[in-house]
Structure 1
């Protein structure tokens, strides 16, 4: 694979957007990975600000997205072959890599979230995701902490959270209440109100106003040790 000689910031923006879509990782999550505000890469791609990515940011993104660093610095000219389409990238068209975030959702009294940084990836078959109705989902993987959702979710289980903006419906959600991140069964309890329910009967329901709780995403899958 030959590194291009000609800088092409527009090509770099297009390539980053393509990688984000192909890996199933949102630009906001990639911005967070860099320690930037969630709109940083969105502005880079849509508005051209900043004009180019800093070298350290390029290296971080390239390592996370498993591509050479120069792909985010130089693009291929229109008359040249797109050399970044390597055999490994073609193979990855059938897979979606979901970021594992360094946070824990409390299934218990509640805890303050850790830093929302991606530290690893889980690869899912694109076909399997489509069979689950998740082909357009915005997925992240986080860890359950505590016992309030047992036996459905156990301490240490890993859950997939669909963070798409979508109409609310009752179900298992990751929510933020004040500064506490929790995983609970959420159900409407009247006009403008909801109740946060635990599976473990030892934990009482939490009645809240809908504007007091932030729905981070819907839990769509779980995995854990037997």
Structure 2
């Protein structure tokens, strides 16, 4: 019976990883483990049971009860219903020459009350938090600022995170000639960049910023 339970837990982990489009190696790294950690757990049953801290972190990432991954079934330390978890991604959006992002698996979260998000006009937004690097968007955005990107907003003009090739940038996006857009820096030392619309992937609109004083 114990083996059947463990097999169920391992199968559930594989299902959740697939639904999240996350590799077991990347999830292992998120846990601070060797990249083969979860692969060995799934295929070889070693370790026989995930440690509590690993289960909790995975359950929070997937948004499921810890019991689905082998927990006791007692209430977990999840985000309360009146708070929303915003994933913090290990990516940098360059306000400069371009930053190459790593795999988009959250390593941390911000937690905001639904009331605050509603007051900010962000209720229901598809938010991710990433860090700004470089000075091309100063004084609007400074290097080291954390920005919230609403991935559900990819049209119109405004400040957006965009991907050109593998590089992420944060720029003011404006329509240019038909089929082309201009990427404009707030810092006058940087010239505008004009590209074909199909050369740029709009990741999402920047809707909030925070940083050290």
Q: What TM-score do the two structures reach when normalised by structure 1?
A: 0.67
What is the deviation of 1:117?
A: 3.0
2:129 to 141, 145, 149: 141
Candidates 63, 71, 80, aligned match of 2:57: 63
Structure 1: runs of 5 or more not aligned: 18-26, 37-52, 77-82
Offset, 1:191: 1.6
Give aligned pairs, total: 183
Aligned to 1:99: 87
- Alignment partner of 1:224 is 2:211: yes
- Asked if residue 194 in structure 1 is aligned to residue 204 in structure 2, the reply is no
- Mean Cα displacement is larger for which, 67-76 or 204-213? 67-76
1:72 aligns with 2:60: no
Cα distance change of structure 1 residues 138 and 68 upon mapping to structure 2, 3 Å threshold: closer
> CA shift at 1:125, angstroms?
1.1
Displacement of 1:133 after TM fit? 2.2
Q: 1:193 deviation in Å?
A: 1.0
Deviations 1:41-78 (A, max 9, x none): xxxxxxxxxxxx9488x7756314189975224799xx
Counterparts of 1:168 and 1:130, CA distance in 2: 21
Q: CA deviation at 1:100?
A: 1.0
Matched residues in 2 for 1:113 and 1:190: separation? 29
- Looking at structure 2, the residues matched to 115 and 32 of structure 1 have their Cα atoms a distance apart, in angstroms, of 10
Worse-matched range after superposition: 127-136 or 182-191 = 127-136
Aligned to 2:193: 206
RMSD: 3.5
